[in-house]
């Protein structure tokens, strides 16, 4: 098999195909997003099964094809995803949907792959804060795509933002304060502390953000704002983000 290609990838999506096969969508390091078929993967004793679970990071051996690669081997690497932890699983689900919505097929982006696979490994590690990692990754995806929210000027009047409470307006991609936000129909509260955290993300101080003691309301607000921003920009609802919002019992836009 001279045309076998080795790569590493994350399983973003999968579905049953034919009698015992699976079709999978991977985000790979060297080839970007690609579809592959795993023959016999649904048989009880399938050899590659562990490497084909959702959100698994796997070393892959592939035979490239015109529309779809054929998977010869998948060996799971990195921490195992703790399936019983529903918050962690929901975070992983958002990660998969976000990456799937952001990355185009056949556009390799090894730097993004590195970022996403590190976030995935952290989210899967029980001692790490999966929701914080999801927020950081969401911000970095928006930064890489050139559609960060504006954290410096009021989205309505353009005045400089102050160190005070306001509201995030997904449709405008920014924050309004004072009289500008109270009149808006769909806004997510953005406290002064949330604005400071978002600005820290902008300055790229990830070690400091990971050392921060995050209160639940602060993390909820940062997460709601970033996911609402990405959903609006990508023009696609993130199903797992709804589950995550239900789990924290919040993220209701203020009316
Ligand atoms: Zn204003």
pLDDT (tens digit per residue) in 208-242 = 999 988 888 999 999 999 999 999 999 989 998 88
Minimal CA–CA distance to 223: which of 208, 237, 242?
Answer: 242
Question: For the segment 91-116, what is each residue's pLDDT rounded down to a tens digit?
Answer: 999 999 999 999 988 899 999 999 99
Question: Which position has the token pair 């604005």?
Answer: 195
Rounded to 5 degrees, φ, ψ at 135 are: -60, -45
Is residue 224 within 8 Å of 245, Cβ to Cβ?
Answer: yes
Q: What angle do CA 134, 245, 34 make, to 5 degrees?
A: 50
Torsion of CA 33, 223, 238, 32, to 10 degrees: 0
- Alpha-carbon distance of 141 to 143, in angstroms, equals 5
Give the full edge-to-edge strand order of the sheet including 174-177: 174-177, 166-169, 188-190
Distance 178 CA to ligand 1 centre (A): 7
Centre of ligand 1 from the C-alpha of residue 90, in Å = 35
Give me the half-sphere count of Cα atoms (radius 13 Å) on the Cβ side of residue 30: 9
**The two three-digit tokens of residue 185, written as one number:** 């129909």
Condensed to tens digits (0 to 9), the pLDDT of residues 139-160 reads 999 999 999 999 999 999 999 9
For the chain, what is the radius of gyration of the CA atoms? 20
CA of 166 to the centre of ligand 1 (A): 10
Q: Ligand 1 center to residue 153 CA distance, Å?
A: 8
The residue written with tokens 């300055």 in the block is 203
∠ at Cα 166 (241, 139), nearest 5°?
Answer: 40
What's the 173 CA to ligand 1 centre distance in angstroms? 13
pLDDT at 1: 52
Residue 143 CA to ligand 1 center (angstroms) comes to 24
Task: Tell me, in angstroms, the distance from the centre of ligand 1 to residue 180's CA.
Answer: 5
Q: What pLDDT score does 13 carry?
A: 95
- How many angstroms separate the alpha carbon of residue 242 from the centre of ligand 1? 29
Tens digit of pLDDT for each residue in 171-185? Answer: 999 999 998 988 777
The answer on pLDDT for 198 being more than 70 is yes
Mean of per-residue pLDDT scores for the chain: 91
Domains belonging to the chain, first-starting first, are 5-77 (2.40.50.140), 129-248 (no CATH)
70 CA → ligand 1 middle, Å: 54
* Predicted TM-score of the model (pTM): 0.91
Concatenating the DSSP letter of every residue in 127-170 gives TS-HHHHHHHHHHHHHHHHT-PPB-SB-TTT-PBPPSS-EEEET
């Amino acid at each position: 098999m001279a045309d076998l290609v080795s790569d590493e990838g994350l399983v973003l999506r999968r579905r049953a195909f034919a009698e015992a096969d699976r079709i999978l969508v991977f985000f790979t390091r060297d080839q970007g997003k690609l579809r592959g078929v795993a023959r016999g993967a649904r048989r009880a004793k399938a050899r590659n099964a562990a490497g084909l679970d959702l959100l698994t990071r796997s070393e892959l051996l592939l035979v490239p094809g015109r529309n779809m690669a054929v998977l010869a081997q998948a060996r799971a690497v990195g921490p195992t995803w703790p399936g019983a932890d529903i918050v962690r699983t929901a975070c992983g689900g958002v990660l998969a949907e976000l990456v799937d919505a952001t990355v185009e097929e056949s556009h390799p982006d090894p730097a993004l792959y590195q970022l996403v696979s590190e976030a995935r490994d952290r989210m899967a590690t029980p001692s790490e804060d999966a929701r914080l990692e999801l927020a950081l990754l969401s911000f970095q995806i928006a930064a890489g795509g050139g559609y960060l929210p504006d954290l410096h000027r009021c989205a309505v009047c353009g005045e400089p933002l102050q160190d005070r409470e306001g509201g995030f307006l997904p449709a405008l991609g920014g924050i309004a304060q004072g009289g500008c936000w109270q009149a808006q129909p769909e806004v997510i509260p953005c406290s002064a502390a949330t604005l400071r955290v978002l600005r820290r993300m902008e300055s790229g101080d990830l070690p400091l953000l990971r050392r921060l003691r995050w209160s639940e309301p602060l993390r909820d607000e940062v997460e709601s704002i970033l996911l609402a921003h990405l959903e609006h920009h990508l023009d696609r609802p993130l199903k797992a983000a709804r589950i995550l919002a239900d789990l924290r019992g919040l993220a209701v836009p203020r009316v």
